[in-house]
Structure 1
């Protein structure tokens, strides 16, 4: 029996495999029966069904048809009954139902990435951060609009019979379209694959509508194609959607609403397979500059949303309720916290954003973030070799005095990339100005009018291990996260 075992793993669609039965003896053997134990939607066919005779050294090919309909766990055993021997074929699989309804984009899909970080904090505010998850966990939330009673009934049936089991969930925000017709039996899907959630050994869905679809498994991914493990069964025209699939579970509570007897809608948050994480093909190097060994987030925030900062100092109030109150400050500086709102347009820019976020590992890995405000103003032109720069008086030399968390600056010229410098000294200069000394000159003369703004560089980390993003379209992403300053 070659092979004698089919371990199909996750079964998303019906499969057809072949098995060879060879009479290795030098005498004829009569096949009296093919016994089936727990066939559960699996059938054997061929041109030598019993009763049949196998001549000496004769080989026969049988077709094994495995249906996607049946119980969740398939463990079928087939026995070919000969007088001398009874070879067996075992077929195992876990059936997975595909959620083929497309989302309602008027209620934008959301994606949540979750890490886990153990933050150990010392008395004086210094931190040690330990990453506890190797890969981000992903949740996808889609709204579905069922425009007729049949669609709504199908959805209810899926919830009724399969809610506690695994689904194949389309990653609709990473969909693509066929650029040409695809014939039945195709083993290659020609398409641009860059920055999409595509990977070897994962599935994709060819989708026309919720009743017309086909799931195929990817063997390899190239820049211009998907190479398939099994050929396609149907013809698919130009414009057919190609959607990556990921395994996921429904929540324990699913709600839907009815507008009338025919129409209904539901929003489902899917928990994807935690062993997979963000697809490598979906990530790109952030391309951000490095300063003192860490990335600098030089992308400006979305100023259409308010940005509110807060400063918190770790202080204990010692009060026995009968006299004076004493205050014990654990840290020598406050820790600033602020939101960062980001609107990203285009798949490549989204992939760079994903690469940056994935590298953060939630709260674990810090980075530099400019305040993007005019924290200082140069008040006198500087020559190419000047290390001392005169600025308008902001009491830097009085209250901050090169504190580790406020001695790094980002100089934003009117055109070009920002320039990063460190303050090594400061001195008062009068009522209206003071002096700062930089670790390096600008290398060219800089007038006061050269700068769009001069901002502090804050050393920060994400303030949460969970990041939720809104997909306005499949190439427009809105993300918001809060950062917290790390004391140095």
Structure 2
């Protein structure tokens, strides 16, 4: 069957074959960034809902399915398709026929009311159903009469094939390589985390440095050269900007779901966030109860005091984001820092590190997720620090 008829979306093309273990997913937002003379950014969210692309191979198709696939590709290149999200597959096991409800964890995959799901046994025993109700641990859908010896459930998106499709001429080793632009994109409602100076503040490392990270430092440099001999240089930016390659490896659908929510909260380059450097940037030289002033070793901090005014203090497993308002030299080993908000009397002995805070954002509106199979997924991305 190359065409599936639904009441929600009409006729949809579909190839009844399981996708390859590996797959690629692309999420893309659209942000307009206005940059001030001093380098500060004002983002404008031009596309509040991400665009989504899914791409995977349909390898080693069995005879019979091969012919269906060929016919579907001939007629369906410009049409709507039922696109199973094979990386989000969940196995149910044996199931008797005659049912319209099944227990499944819906919190880790994209199963929604008025959307589709694929009930899969094999290329000859499957059905695309319309979901009418979703709970955290179950879905209700179109009645199913067939029984399954090893039932699997896969979310189904609706989309169109993009670009040209390639398939080998020798059908006994056919691989259909396809990419779809999704129409019914999920819009994840994200929660607002802890705030600092009007932006999100995270104390869990969502992404980690790549294996061999190469940081890129940027600084606006203007050159005034009228070919008369002297040349003048100046920078309008108040501070450097730094780009850091990052990596995230996920080992379950739950981890992928949490990371996806974080990405939707970022909305591409639109929403920045504060994050500690995770380094021991300032060395505490204090004791007793800490309130609005802390004493640190100087370590030439005064040279950068006008730029590095935001810090995070970790004490007793809690992070305290603060702004340094005044720097007062005491002697060669003591530098007093006055904070905008009291630390509430925490004991200096509980402080494990003092890190600089950086205001960061994604460096791109487009993010790619590489699915590796068995719920494993990885993402390489770049983070830009736009304000120290």
**Shorter-chain TM-score above 0.5:** yes
Secondary structure of 2:120's counterpart equals strand
Deviation, structure 1 residue 482:
1.9
Residue 308 (str. 1) matches residue 214 (str. 2) = yes
| 1:261 to 1:416, Cα distance in 2 relative to 1, 3 A | same
Secondary structure of 1:485's counterpart equals strand
Secondary structure of 1:200's counterpart equals coil
CA distance in 2 between counterparts of 1:475 and 1:293 reads: 35
Determine the structure 1 residue equivalent to 2:126.
Answer: 213
Alignment map for 1:248-287 (pairs within 5 Å): 248-257=159-168, 262-273=172-183, 276-278=184-186, 280=188, 285=191
Determine the structure 2 residue equivalent to 1:95.
Answer: 11
CA distance in 2 between counterparts of 1:330 and 1:213 reads: 62
Query: Could you say which structure has the larger radius of gyration?
Result: 1
Deviation, structure 1 residue 171:
1.1
| 1:296 to 1:430, Cα distance in 2 relative to 1, 3 A | same
Deviation, structure 1 residue 147:
5.0
Residues 163-206 of structure 1, C-alpha deviation per residue, up to 9 Å, x if partnerless? Answer: 1211100012222222551423x222232322220111111111
| 1:193 to 1:252, Cα distance in 2 relative to 1, 3 A | same
Secondary structure of 2:294's counterpart equals strand
Determine the structure 1 residue equivalent to 2:317.
Answer: 416
Residue 111 (str. 1) matches residue 29 (str. 2) = no
| 1:400 to 1:336, Cα distance in 2 relative to 1, 3 A | farther
Secondary structure of 1:398's counterpart equals helix
- Are the equivalent residues in 2 in contact too, given 1:345–1:475 (CA < 8 A)? yes
Residue 407 (str. 1) matches residue 309 (str. 2) = yes
**For this pair of structures, how many residues does the alignment match?**
384
Unaligned runs of 5+ in 2: none
CA distance in 1 between counterparts of 2:276 and 2:233 reads: 31
- Are the equivalent residues in 1 in contact too, given 2:320–2:343 (CA < 8 A)? no
Q: CA RMSD in A?
A: 2.8
Q: What's the TM-score once normalised by structure 1's chain length?
A: 0.71
Alignment map for 1:62-141 (pairs within 5 Å): 94-105=10-21, 108-141=22-55
CA distance in 1 between counterparts of 2:221 and 2:57 reads: 46
Residue 479 (str. 1) matches residue 385 (str. 2) = no
Between the two structures, name the one with larger relative contact order (CA 8 Å, sep ≥ 6).
Answer: 2
CA distance in 1 between counterparts of 2:36 and 2:147 reads: 64
Residue 297 (str. 1) matches residue 197 (str. 2) = no
Residue 441 (str. 1) matches residue 354 (str. 2) = no
Deviation, structure 1 residue 98:
1.7
Determine the structure 2 residue equivalent to 1:77.
Answer: none
Unaligned runs of 5+ in 1: 1-10, 16-91
Residues 339-391 of structure 1, C-alpha deviation per residue, up to 9 Å, x if partnerless? Answer: 3322234333333322221122211112112222332222x232213543333
Residue 234 (str. 1) matches residue 146 (str. 2) = yes
CA distance in 1 between counterparts of 2:361 and 2:109 reads: 27
Which of the numbers 259, 270, 273 marks the counterpart of 1:367? 273
Q: What's the TM-score once normalised by structure 2's chain length?
A: 0.88
CA distance in 2 between counterparts of 1:234 and 1:178 reads: 15
- Are the equivalent residues in 1 in contact too, given 2:29–2:49 (CA < 8 A)? yes
| 1:358 to 1:189, Cα distance in 2 relative to 1, 3 A | same
| 1:122 to 1:362, Cα distance in 2 relative to 1, 3 A | same
Determine the structure 2 residue equivalent to 1:19.
Answer: none
| 1:385 to 1:152, Cα distance in 2 relative to 1, 3 A | same
Determine the structure 2 residue equivalent to 1:324.
Answer: 230
Determine the structure 2 residue equivalent to 1:395.
Answer: 300
Determine the structure 2 residue equivalent to 1:76.
Answer: none
- Are the equivalent residues in 2 in contact too, given 1:100–1:170 (CA < 8 A)? no
CA distance in 2 between counterparts of 1:242 and 1:98 reads: 16
| 1:220 to 1:279, Cα distance in 2 relative to 1, 3 A | farther
CA distance in 2 between counterparts of 1:429 and 1:306 reads: 40
CA distance in 1 between counterparts of 2:176 and 2:204 reads: 36
